[in-house]
Amino acid sequence: MVSFDDFPPVRGVLQEKANLAKKSRFGVGGPAEVLFIPEDMDDLQLFLDNTPPKFPITVLGAMSNVLIRSGGIGGVVIMLGNWFKKTFVEDGILEVGAAVSCSELSTIATDSDLGGFEFLMGLPGSVGGALKMNAGCYDSEISDVLVEFEAVAKNGQIKWFKANELNFRYRDSGIPDDLIITRIWFRGSQNVNYIISKKIHEIMKKRLDSQPLDKKSCGSTFKNPKGKKAWELIHAAGCRGMKLGGAVVSEKHCNFIINTGNATPEDIENLGLKVIDRVRQTSGIVLEWEIIRLGSSVPT
């Protein structure tokens, strides 16, 4: 049984059995045993430095690519609040808190006549989460515009990393899991040879035409295998429209799994596993999850 006497005094939110489903893009998921939303950086550092190591710590952003199983997440879940949504722009450099949304970053860059961030418009996640997974689309990745970032280690120590110190790959930054990204600096392109707002409009039209953005989904379910498109493999395997409980493979974009309204986390995960198995049988390729699956299937 968790006791708040186990944790240091905080100025932010410290909540037991916190509902995570309402924060999830899927709209499902078990609770956090303890949820901590720090008031500011000092609050975060103090909490980390004084929380007993027996409590595992999980960091969540906007939960735009996360599936929480029904049993929820044991230990402490940390989500960054409004203090980590600050933004500054100077001389082509954008300094943003990790809790800023990808779309807001794209808007700030556009308003500052800085190119290179158009692909982020319409991505539902936070900037910190996007950096952690090296999010990208339409031939662009967030690592393309990164200068450096600040993070807090699980012992409360602040660290800084330059872009060239990381090993960026497709959908992977190499950033250690024991770091909490807090601030990021990006460099925008000045005097680009295209109209930024027009490019954003074109990207958003592509998204709306090809993706079920009005449904409960966490976007692309699987990574693209090298030289292949995941959706093409899924389509060829006959999985478009496949259902399990309240979960369905989208007819509009078959690399999206949708909660039709009454899906459980296990419906979504098991449907994904069925798709993996079907694609393996038909193509010999084993798809890798792009969605991060966390927690237990039974109550913690």
| pLDDT band of 300, cuts 50, 70, 90 | low
CA 80 to chain centre: 13
Token code pair at residue 23 = 């924060």
| pLDDT band of 4, cuts 50, 70, 90 | confident
169 in any annotated domain: yes
Q: Which CATH number covers residue 258?
A: 3.90.78.10
241 in any annotated domain: yes
Shared domain for 238 and 221, answered yes or no, is yes
Instruction: Tell which of 61, 82, 103 closes a domain.
Output: 82
Mean pLDDT of the 234-239 span: 98
Q: What is the pLDDT of residue 267?
A: 98
Q: What is the pLDDT of residue 138?
A: 87
Q: Which CATH number covers residue 22?
A: 3.30.43.10
Least confident stretch, 92-96, 128-132, 154-158, 294-298: 294-298
203 in any annotated domain: no
Each residue's pLDDT tens digit, 188-204: 999 899 999 999 999 99
Token code pair at residue 184 = 């990021």
Phi, psi of 263 (to 5 degrees): -75, 150
Mean pLDDT of the 232-258 span: 98
Contacts of 282 (CB under 8 A, 6+ apart): 233, 236, 237, 238
Each residue's pLDDT tens digit, 122-179: 888 999 999 999 999 988 999 999 999 999 998 999 999 999 999 999 999 999 988 9
207 in any annotated domain: no
Percentage of the chain exceeding pLDDT 70: 99
Each residue's pLDDT tens digit, 216-227: 999 999 999 999
Q: What is the pLDDT of residue 2?
A: 73
Q: Look at the chain and report how many structural domains it folds into.
A: 3
Residue 171 a catalytic site member: yes
Q: Percent helix, strand, coil in the chain (nearest 5)? A: 30, 30, 40
Residue 11 a catalytic site member: no
Shared domain for 101 and 173, answered yes or no, is yes
Least confident stretch, 175-179, 201-205, 252-256, 296-300: 296-300
Instruction: Tell which of 51, 82, 113 closes a domain.
Output: 82
Catalytic, out of 220, 240, 269, 278 = 220
Catalytic, out of 171, 187, 207, 280 = 171
Q: Where in the sequence is the domain holding 31, given as residue range(s)?
A: 4-82
Check whether 91 has a pLDDT greater than 70.
Answer: yes
Q: What is the pLDDT of residue 9?
A: 94
Check whether 299 has a pLDDT greater than 70.
Answer: no
222 in any annotated domain: yes
pTM summary value: 0.93
Phi, psi of 297 (to 5 degrees): -80, -10
Each residue's pLDDT tens digit, 110-128: 999 999 999 999 888 999 9
| pLDDT band of 1, cuts 50, 70, 90 | low
Secondary structure letter of residue 132 according to DSSP? H
Check whether 108 has a pLDDT greater than 60.
Answer: yes
- Sign (positive or negative) of CA dihedral 60, 13, 158, 100: positive
Residue 220 a catalytic site member: yes
Instruction: Tell which of 50, 82, 114 closes a domain.
Output: 82
Strand stretches in the chain, DSSP E: 13-18, 32-37, 57-60, 66-68, 73-79, 87-90, 93-97, 136-137, 140-141, 146-153, 158-162, 179-187, 216-220, 243-244, 247-249, 256-259, 292-294
Q: Which CATH number covers residue 152?
A: 3.30.465.10
Shared domain for 94 and 156, answered yes or no, is yes
